[in-house]
Structure 1
């Protein structure tokens, strides 16, 4: 074989390898393109499956759902003021713009993504919109709204909730990761806020000094922040979070009576000393924390918090209280002895 023939053979092999490589590259690109198209098709299918068929609220359904005939504002005519359309797979409530006298509205268990037509109902007192497909609870300011419930939706923020007479707000089981936009100057009557089952990692942003009851169980809270802005709070639920210390409580929380910390990660019994600045604390839940497994758990908590009346579900007995007092006094004497201070000197200093 001549050198030329060898070169031609080599070139042909090289060209063949290049063509094979190009074919493999094309196959890979086609496969990637096919995968992308398949992913897009799957996404479209998911969106189509998620998008319920149009099912607007109709006059026929309204006729079945209205009740409670009352006088209107002028006192000269009557109108139905209660609407209950729960569990009807409704997707559109635009018709409600014409029913301005409604006061009690229940649209629970439907397929609503938009409740803006409710802004026309300026006399509304109670709204239940649980178990829908809402991503926001924002409504124009409703002057008389007292109770609003949006649990089990897809709401991811707390913006646009500034109704001056709102007393109870339920946002349980949504996708809220941070609280913002709650205006204390407008929500002056809000006494109960429920945010269980969301994605909160901190208590920051809840700046409502008139709030009395705050429910934050089943979140991912690790830090207690902004507590000094909750001076009117009497009940705080933090069950089933990821709290491992009790930093963050504030002296301003002089009204706080009940704290539920069940199911967290507190492992040091000395953390209870950080609750001494809560003068009215009477009931505390710490079960399902590592400290609850320690010997003399109940007694040690009472020694730290001697005004406590109930731990978990059980009230303290007189015997437990007496024992806690004795141990506390014994430890105090030991500390004084270690410091070289006599009881007489202590009395003199107190005098």
Structure 2
């Protein structure tokens, strides 16, 4: 597992209820707030962290906290090009165009505003951006080359598009919980490591094969019935959370067999977990799994799974062998000959008959002679079975 083990995080990143409690909601906020621009007076109260500028010859304040100031625009920030940390959350901003000049910005929080787009002209040093709880409808216009973490929780995004893997080479964590997604298509980011998609309406797993660096995938509280869509190219994926979906059959876990690094899985609150043996059946399908629903597997669990696996494997081989025997014997005019044990005639007996048939064909004997020879062979096999098993059989004459 990675350094930050998501299986021990109490799934807090998926808990939309706790998010609402911490951050509030739009309920009670005016749709057309009074115009309240940022002023120099307000700004002077909120600046902090005096640091050297890039050339080391001067000093400037690099942090500003404008949280919950009722602001409708922040144009006054434009001259403050040395800002590195900016919090403008819980205001009434409709766009972030005023940030274009802040070329040294490293960290941005613009949660709980009225943003309809995440677009900002590329900021060369921006590493962390959060625009949760806005009205953003798409993921276009995000191309900051050093961006590592992007938070778009609880917006109105219906599909993911415009995320350029050639620009977002360092993006390792993407938060898209609580949106309106129906598919995983469009997240074309091979270097992404952590993807949070809980609380959407996802019913299809598409485009996942591109996520070759993914380690953690949260899909809690979606509409998944099938788990088809995973790929062997996802060789780094270690943890998946499917809690609260619509998975009925535990056999859906077979679609995860292509994931060589998968060690922790959460499938609680799915219909398939109502089966008493769901843990054992999951382990039978995913032999390398270490934890299921936050509980590890004991040595006894693994021994039981191994025993059942061998038993089922043997039964399957026997079934396939019987099917092959049925195809090669039983379609030549005569009925199958069975011993008391229920087994068909042996392979050596069938091979003897084939050699005899080839001999008859080579000698050009008549059809009547071939039929008689077949009857003789059948009688010989039948009599051998009686002598070896001590039981009687009723011989069925070949069809004319």
* 1:276 equivalent among 249, 253, 257: 257
Q: Does 1:191 align with 2:172?
A: yes
Which residue of structure 2 aligns with residue 159 of structure 1?
Answer: 140
Which residue of structure 2 aligns with residue 115 of structure 1?
Answer: 96
After superposition, the CA RMSD in angstroms is 1.1
* 2:210 equivalent among 229, 232, 236: 229
Q: How does 1:81-120 map to 2 (within 5 A)?
A: 81-120=62-101
* 1:146 equivalent among 127, 131, 136: 127
Structure 2 Cα separation of the partners of residues 314 and 144 of structure 1: 41
Structure 2 Cα separation of the partners of residues 56 and 321 of structure 1: 64
The Cα shift of 1:49 comes to 4.8
Which residue of structure 2 aligns with residue 314 of structure 1?
Answer: 295
Q: How many residues align?
A: 294
Task: Give the structure-1-normalised TM-score.
Answer: 0.83
1:35-65 Cα offsets, whole Å, 9 max, x none, are xxxxxxxxxxxxx951100111111111111
- Bigger Rg, which one: 2
Q: Does 1:325 align with 2:299?
A: no
Structure 2 Cα separation of the partners of residues 326 and 296 of structure 1: 15
Which residue of structure 2 aligns with residue 334 of structure 1?
Answer: 315
Specify the SS of the correspondent of 1:68: strand
Task: Give the direction of change, closer, same or farther, for the CA distance of 1:190–1:298 in structure 2 (3 Å limit).
Answer: same
The Cα shift of 1:340 comes to 2.4
Specify the SS of the correspondent of 1:127: strand
Q: How does 1:237-316 map to 2 (within 5 A)?
A: 237-316=218-297
Which residue of structure 2 aligns with residue 209 of structure 1?
Answer: 190
* 2:161 equivalent among 161, 169, 180: 180
Specify the SS of the correspondent of 1:120: coil
1:272-307 Cα offsets, whole Å, 9 max, x none, are 111100010000110011001112011110010010
The Cα shift of 1:134 comes to 0.4
Q: Does 1:52 align with 2:33?
A: yes
Structure 2 Cα separation of the partners of residues 301 and 318 of structure 1: 15
1:178-197 Cα offsets, whole Å, 9 max, x none, are 10000000000000000000
1:156-195 Cα offsets, whole Å, 9 max, x none, are 0000000000000000000000100000000000000000
Specify the SS of the correspondent of 1:50: coil
Runs of 4+ in 1 over 3 A off after TM superposition: none
Structure 1 Cα separation of the partners of residues 296 and 144 of structure 2: 39
Structure 1 Cα separation of the partners of residues 315 and 77 of structure 2: 73
5+ residue gaps, structure 2: 1-28, 323-400
Specify the SS of the correspondent of 2:217: strand
Structure 1 Cα separation of the partners of residues 198 and 30 of structure 2: 32
Structure 1 Cα separation of the partners of residues 85 and 30 of structure 2: 32
Structure 1 Cα separation of the partners of residues 187 and 163 of structure 2: 7
Specify the SS of the correspondent of 1:340: helix
Which residue of structure 2 aligns with residue 16 of structure 1?
Answer: none
Q: Does 1:135 align with 2:116?
A: yes
Structure 1 Cα separation of the partners of residues 303 and 88 of structure 2: 55
Structure 2 Cα separation of the partners of residues 319 and 59 of structure 1: 69
Task: Give the structure-2-normalised TM-score.
Answer: 0.73
